[in-house]
Structure 1
Amino acid sequence: MAETIGDDAEQDDDGRLRRAATYASVGVALTLIAAKLAAYLYTESVSILSSLIDSSSDLLASVVTLLGVRVALRPPDRSHRYGHGKAEPLAALAQAAFVAGSAVFLTYEAINRLFNPVAIQESSAGIAVMVFSIVLTVGLVAFQRRVIRRTGSMAIGADSLHYSGDLFMNLAVIAALVLTGMTGIPILDPLFALGIAAFLIVGAFRIAKGSLDTLMDRELPHGDRKRIREIVMAHPATRGMHDLRTRNAGITLFIELHLELDSELTLAEAHDITDEVECRLTEAFPQAEVIVHQEPFGLSDDRLDTRIAEAGRLRRGS
């Protein structure tokens, strides 16, 4: 009972950290939009416009993240007995769409400025705003990474990647303003904007891939699966295991496997051994729900491992 209470308290702390990170993200995005909008109106720099567009998409993405995390933290109910954890990768996928959309708009605007250059006014004011943006963003990313290390949140991880990209973007904007001011060549500004747009596209692709992997129940990395197998086989009563299945449901990992035990064991003995194996796996993967099916060692039956191996041989043969 004490262990259960402790686990519940830890989950509550994780939930509060997730919520705090989403509120901080929305607050930072609103602040940066106001500062960059003023800077763009003052300087008419397309590089600052690119950063303003990105901050606007950040705000939308941060709001989606806030809603996604709020839904993901809901406990299981009659209609969602596995919980609501996949709301997080859905939120991250929406972020990828926002990022890609902002990159397309930015590309259009930058190309337009290449053919119709506009002189930048008062670049020093723009630089000051971008330095302010960098300082604020560094603080947010540091807090988000702390939350990610603690909770493993996919939505906040995507949001953090978003803002980490902003750091490089802001540095690129400063470089564009400085170089344009020094050389007087107006096309340098839209050229930097095109580079920023390419960076956004790459980031959107990475976010989308991670989200789709989770939504499609992709297996955990090979190293994690190997670790699971080693933990199970390390128990002295284990005779074998098969049909290991794993997936990441956003805020919860699911580990399922068939545990092979001596057929002479009583039901109570097999149950105790299974509990010990599950406890060892939970210690190694605190965010996991572990489901173990017991089977007599040496039993010949239809196995998922066998079907997957046969399907692989058929694909190679074709």
Structure 2
Amino acid sequence: MTASALDAAHETTRRITALSVATAVLLIVMKAFALGASGSVSILASLADSALDLVASLATFFAVRWAAASPDEEHRYGHGKAEGLASLVQSGMVLASGVFIGWEALQRIFDPRPVTSGGWAVGVVLLSIAITAGLVWMQTQAMKKTGSLAVAGDRAHYAADLAANVVVLIGVVAGAFLRAPGLDAAAGLVVAVWLAWGAVSLLKDAAGHLLDRAAPDADRAAIVAAVGEDARITNVHQLRTRMAGQALMVQMHVDLDPDLSLKAAHDIVLEAEKRVLKAFPHADILIHADPRGAAEPHGGAFASARPTAPDKPVEAVAPEAPAARPGPWS
């Protein structure tokens, strides 16, 4: 990834995370007012979620700045894993929020309490929906530009809030205008289940990032295809990929004519790197050239690790569709 592209991506994540923190503060103030006026458990659920969103957004705010720090002597691959850590914190916060809201909702189901000042509560929820929808749209645009896992986690919070606020609106209307406070509590319980389900999905993504999960099949096939555009490269093997924040780390071995000069082999590999960078501007690439037909087995800690796919000539590799990720926030 070029320095200018990386700097632009980091600047985008810094701006959107600052906006996320400001939005969380605004939503907390609004919902606290609505809770004081109405006593709605649905509003309480939404307020608790927004409070934890603020904590998670603050974690993301600092994490993306840490992740943007340049590599140093102790972190030669940079600090991109900070985004995975932030996403892990976010998933824990959301899960805790779901447990708290679910407990409160169950208590209110067995001990219903009236919802008052429904007009104020409805107005606040509608305004919250509008503000949250605007933030989610901007986060989506930022994700398209950067691929940031931390921003994806933060967007997951607010996308869930957007859906949850609709449920909250139904609960407030039922409790205040239909005189059915039990429905208000039931709406809060729905929000709790939604949050817990989403937290598990987010936790899986964060864990995969921190445990160096490989890039999707379609991305790996695209990398091999880009390298194989040069007919002088007849085989790609020992391909390894992982994410470090917004950077895609790529390592591979390629087979070349053993009679090539070192300079010629270097030029071929350099052009292959450029083709991969064109397809994946956020990549850091390392290509090792092997003499075709005379390559020695490579040692090391993962020499005997089973590859994700058998070594193939480059022309035999076809792109595959990435697997779908089930979950309420996908």
The TM-score range, normalised by the shorter chain, is over 0.9
- Aligned residue identity for 1:127: V
Displacement of 1:13 after TM fit?
Answer: 2.1
Match among 254, 261, 284 for residue 266 of structure 1: 261
Match among 115, 119, 123 for residue 120 of structure 1: 115
Cα RMSD between the aligned structures?
Answer: 1.7
SS, match of residue 292 in structure 1: strand
The alignment of Structure 1 onto Structure 2 pairs a total of residues equal to 306
SS, match of residue 183 in structure 1: coil
Structure 1 residue runs without a partner (length 5+): 313-318
How does 1:15-164 map onto structure 2 within 5 Å?
15-164=10-159
The 1-side partners of 2:229 and 2:270 are apart by 14
Q: Give the TM-score normalised by structure 2.
A: 0.89
The 2-side partners of 1:239 and 1:109 are apart by 63
The 2-side partners of 1:305 and 1:123 are apart by 65
Instruction: Provide the residue aligned with 1:316 in structure 2.
Output: none
More helix by share: 1
Contact kept, 8 Å, 2:98 with 2:195, in 1: the verdict is yes
Contact kept, 8 Å, 2:5 with 2:281, in 1: the verdict is no
The 2-side partners of 1:84 and 1:306 are apart by 29
Once the two structures are superposed, what CA deviation does each residue of 1:248-274 show, in whole Å capped at 9, x if it has no partner? 111211010001100000000000000
Range 176-185 or range 67-76, more displaced: 176-185
Instruction: Provide the residue aligned with 2:327 in structure 1.
Output: none
Q: 1:309 to 1:70 in 2, by over 3 A?
A: closer
SS, match of residue 187 in structure 1: helix
Match among 306, 309, 314 for residue 308 of structure 1: 306
Contact kept, 8 Å, 2:213 with 2:243, in 1: the verdict is yes
SS, match of residue 308 in structure 1: coil
Structure 2 residue runs without a partner (length 5+): 311-330
Q: Give the TM-score normalised by structure 1.
A: 0.93
SS, match of residue 204 in structure 1: helix
The 2-side partners of 1:219 and 1:299 are apart by 28
Displacement of 1:306 after TM fit?
Answer: 6.7
Once the two structures are superposed, what CA deviation does each residue of 1:29-84 show, in whole Å capped at 9, x if it has no partner? 00000000010011000000000000001000000001110100000000000000
The 1-side partners of 2:291 and 2:184 are apart by 70
Contact kept, 8 Å, 1:243 with 1:305, in 2: the verdict is no
How does 1:293-304 map onto structure 2 within 5 Å?
293-302=288-297
Q: Which structure carries more relative contact order (alpha carbon 8 Å, separation 6+)? A: 2
SS, match of residue 214 in structure 2: coil
Contact kept, 8 Å, 2:87 with 2:153, in 1: the verdict is yes
